Amino acid sequence: MDINLNHLVKYIILFCVVAGSTFYIPNCNIINEHAVYIGLLAATTFAILDRFYPSVTFTKKENIESSY
C-alpha cells in the first residue's frame, strides 16, 4: 500500500481539529482520552471515504445538434 504524504497530512490535520474542538467546545468536561477517540474515529472515517470515493466529478454534456 502506497502512502501519500499529502493525504497523511490532511488526515492528521483533520484529527487535530476534531479532537481539539471535541475537547474545548462542549460545556461539560470531556476526558482527553475520549476526545482522542472521537478524533481518531473522524479521521479514520474520512480516510476510508477518501480511499474508496476519492473524488466525484460531474461533467455537463453539451447538446450538439446535428443537421441531417
Parse the chain into domains and list their residue ranges. 5-52
- CA-to-CA distance for 19 and 56, rounded, in angstroms? 28
pLDDT digits (tens, 9 = 90+) for 44-57: 888 888 877 766 66
- CA-to-CA distance for 27 and 38, rounded, in angstroms? 17
Residue 15 or residue 32, greater confidence:
15
**For the whole model, what pTM was predicted?**
0.60
- CA-to-CA distance for 57 and 30, rounded, in angstroms? 39
pLDDT in the model for residue 47 = 85
Tell me the CA distances in angstroms from 38 to 27, 46, 48, 51, 60, one per residue in order: 17, 12, 15, 20, 39
